[in-house]
Amino acid sequence: MRFENQRRHDSIRPCYVINGLQQLGDVGASVIPPHIMIPNLGLSFGFGPDPGPSDMVSPPSLHPFAVSAMLVLYTSIYVLPLYISSSSRPSPTLSRDDPRVIRTRVTSVLFSTVICCTITYIVLAQLPDGVLPISPLHAMGYWPVGLAESGSALLLTSILFAGPLYEALLIDGLWEDWKTLEPLTHVWTRWTTWRNIVMGPLTEEMLFRSASVPLLLCAHMSLTQTIFLSPLIFGLAHVHHFYEFRITHPRVPLIAAVARSVLQFAYTSLFGGYATFLFLRSGSLLAIVLVHAFCNSMGLPRFWGSVEPHWHLHGHYTHADARKWTVFYYVLLFTGAGLWWKGLLTLTESSSTLVPGRF
């Protein structure tokens, strides 16, 4: 989907800018006269797709600064209400994993997410003809649902996690739990699992991908900026965990708490870039919610150390045996990464992509 200004031999369609966004971005009239051709100034500063003949006709319908301000506002709407109520605000005696805190927070972020998604839908629905060639629901990933795209995205991500899957299912013996579907029952019976696997991925992807990425595209930001800007906002939305950690773990050295937050910001931003890429390629909100849930369930992969098979706990242990299983883990880890890279474009190809011809 290329957001290009349509040319006509006899006239150029005027570009109407939504008043609220105009006030945040440009100061001036909200209608650009059809007889004036204004260069895309945002393109000169790195905003917008690769330059083309039709990219230099008029400014983007949404100003990049206005969109960036909206994303920061969305993050504030998502995070700040968590600290308004004492029932959702962690304290030295109240953990964020307390069921009361989880229930209150889930209700709060769900309400905030619905508000932000509604704002985005209204903005997209009021854009002038031609700026958004697809429906707002498609741009936000709701329709088409993308069942095939979801399966492909999960397969691709599972290949990347080949090593961790091997460790979790075989080495740690979780395959035995899956025979009785016990891990699935935890989703409905444990509040922390419900938050981490269901509501967290759902609300975060609705807000930071579905409600944010279409706005960046309509501001004519390049794919690189779109893929890496929204994840930075996504990463910043997790920085508040530093405050929570300091409150609940006051004896942990400050440098250790800072390092923990920096690491969390890094991997949440990295995942955010991957999720944005999948969203642009698949056009499916369901796909990235499922991938997010899968990654949350797996956690960070092991990059050092040795694996310890669960049967070693029962006395069947030799150092040679441990080395064998560990070597196989790292072979799977790096082989999976290579196969993931090789299939990155093939397994994410879709007719529902939000940016056809842009990759």
Can you read off the two tokens belonging to residue 190?
A: 């444990």
For residue 154, the tally of other CB atoms under 10 A from its CB is: 16
The full 3-state SS of the chain, as one line of letters, equals CCCCCCECCCCECCCECCHHHHHHCCCCCCECCCCCCCCCHHHHCCCCCCCCHHHHCCCCCCCHHHHHHHHHHHHHHHHHHHHCCCCCCCECCECCCCHHHHHHHHHHHHHHHHHHHHHHHHHHHCCCCCCCCCCHHHHCCCCCCCHHHHHHHHHHHHHHCHHHHHHHHHHCCHHHHHCCCHHHHHHHHCHHHHHHHHHHHHHHHHHHHHCCHHHHHHCCCCHHHHHHHHHHHHHHCCCHHHHHHHHHCCCCCHHHHHHHHHHHHHHHHHHHHHHHHHHHHHCCHHHHHHHHHHHHHHCCCCCCCCCCCHHHHHCCCCHHHHHHHHHHHHHHHHHHHHHHHHCCCCCCCCCCCCCCCCC
- Identity of the amino acid at 237: A
Q: Which residues are catalytic?
A: 204, 238
